[in-house]
């Protein structure tokens, strides 16, 4: 009889050789459909906005690494993802100098200040967006209609606004579906919301493209599917109960699901591995908290959109969930404190 050796080791136990840069690169791939469709809908203005956001984030990360005598980390694609996500949360006619500032804030304040990748408490792209909304509330809530005929031959004049100057917006403007419903009680067609033929941020585009990108990451095992599932399910059920209670006052759950940045936030921002809980129960509570809070802000809050604040508050809640909800160590009793 042969002697066999059982090797016992402590965690982590690596199951496959997937590195950080490979995961981040796949996230970039998953964002390509939504990004490409946003450029199709809003044209050169969206292209410049997203391009400036990515450039700002990459340059800021490279500069901060060199300034602190560290190797540059721009090759892990995390700064690229932050730039793309930040660009997708901004209006397509947002002034470029403000977009550049948002990238600097997202990387410097939202990521580097906490110690870099893996240590950030909040989603960096949303940190940049939150500061921009506080600093430039008019510019960040000025929208442009989708599918303008000259979107590939001209750029909105506000894009070229000089730093610290007041932007001049073109005459054409369009309210987002969320603001139209909140202030005028006008509901957009579900089909238009699904395909993204509406005004809004560059990322409020084709719901199908966003979902396909998220499903790709879930299939590759690079996203915790429980997070978007719990967010979308809780938002759908809570808004559905309100709609059944008074359909004349509250929007349909499909409107809540497909409007604004809920899908983008659920699949690509709330799923940040650093800012989300690690336990199964914690993940579900985290997702339900975000989904219900989005509906509360949209219905009763002063702003038409609440995804950004809901996810940031969810990020703040995540460490507490990990602390309170801890799985029992194998081999110990439920009463054990060790």
The CATH number given to whatever domain includes residue 75 is: 1.10.3430
Least confident of 2-6, 156-160, 235-239, 322-326: 2-6
Note the pLDDT of residue 257: 94
Is residue 9 domain-resident?
no
| pLDDT, tens digit (0-9, with 9 covering 90-100), for 252-304 | 999 999 998 999 999 999 999 888 998 999 999 999 999 999 999 999 998 88
Angle, CA of 92, 28 and 308, to the nearest 5°:
50
C-alpha–C-alpha distance, residues 153 and 141, integer Å: 24
Least confident of 95-99, 206-210, 312-316: 206-210
Among all chains, which residue has been given the structure tokens 């139209």? Answer: 180
| pLDDT, tens digit (0-9, with 9 covering 90-100), for 188-219 | 787 888 887 788 888 877 889 999 999 999 99
Percentage above 70 pLDDT, the chain: 89
Mean pLDDT of 64-82: 91
Note the pLDDT of residue 178: 84
Q: How many domains does the chain have?
A: 1
Is residue 2 domain-resident?
no
Among all chains, which residue has been given the structure tokens 């901004």? Answer: 90
pTM of the model: 0.89
Note the pLDDT of residue 198: 80
Is residue 135 domain-resident?
yes
Domain that holds residue 67: 20-323
E strands, the chain, in order:
none
pLDDT of 141 higher than 70: yes
Is residue 306 domain-resident?
yes
Q: Give the DSSP per-residue string, 51-117.
A: HHHHHHHHHHHHHHHHHTT----GGGSHHHHHHHHHHHTS-TT--HHHHHHHHHHHHHTTTGGGTST
Is residue 11 domain-resident?
no
Is residue 101 domain-resident?
yes
Is residue 83 domain-resident?
yes
C-alpha–C-alpha distance, residues 298 and 306, integer Å: 6
C-alpha–C-alpha distance, residues 206 and 195, integer Å: 4
Helix (H) or strand (E) holding 286: helix 280-300
């Amino acid at each position: 009889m042969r002697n066999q050796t059982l090797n016992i080791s402590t965690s982590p136990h690596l199951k496959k050789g997937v590195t950080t840069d490979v995961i981040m690169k796949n996230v970039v791939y998953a964002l390509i459909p939504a990004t490409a469709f946003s450029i199709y809908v809003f044209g050169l203005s969206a292209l410049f906005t997203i391009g400036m956001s990515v450039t700002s984030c990459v340059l800021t990360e490279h500069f901060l690494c060199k300034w602190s005598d560290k190797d540059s980390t721009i090759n892990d694609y995390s700064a690229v993802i932050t730039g793309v996500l930040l660009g997708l949360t901004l209006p397509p006619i947002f002034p470029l100098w403000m977009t550049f500032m948002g990238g600097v804030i997202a990387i410097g304040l939202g990521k580097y200040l906490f110690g870099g990748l893996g240590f950030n408490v909040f989603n960096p792209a949303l940190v940049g967006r939150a500061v921009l909304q506080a600093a430039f509330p008019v510019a960040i809530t000025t929208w442009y209609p989708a599918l303008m005929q000259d979107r590939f031959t001209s750029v909105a004049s506000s894009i070229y606004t000089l730093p610290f100057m007041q932007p001049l917006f073109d005459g054409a403007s369009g309210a987002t579906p969320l603001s139209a419903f909140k202030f005028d009680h006008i509901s957009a067609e579900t089909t238009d919301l699904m395909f993204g033929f509406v005004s809004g941020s560059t990322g409020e585009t084709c719901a199908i493209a966003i979902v396909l990108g998220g499903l790709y990451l879930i299939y590759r095992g690079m996203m915790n599917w429980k997070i978007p599932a719990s967010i979308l399910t809780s938002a759908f059920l809570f808004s559905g109960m309100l709609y059944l209670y008074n359909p004349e006052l509250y929007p349909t759950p499909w409107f809540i699901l497909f409007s604004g940045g809920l899908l983008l936030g659920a699949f690509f921002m709330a799923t940040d591995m650093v800012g989300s809980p690690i336990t199964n129960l914690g993940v579900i509570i985290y997702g339900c908290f975000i989904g219900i809070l989005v509906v509360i802000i949209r219905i009763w809050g002063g702003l038409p959109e609440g995804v950004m604040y809901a996810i940031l508050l969810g990020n703040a809640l995540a460490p507490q969930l990990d602390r309170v909800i801890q799985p029992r160590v194998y081999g110990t009793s439920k009463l054990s404190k060790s």
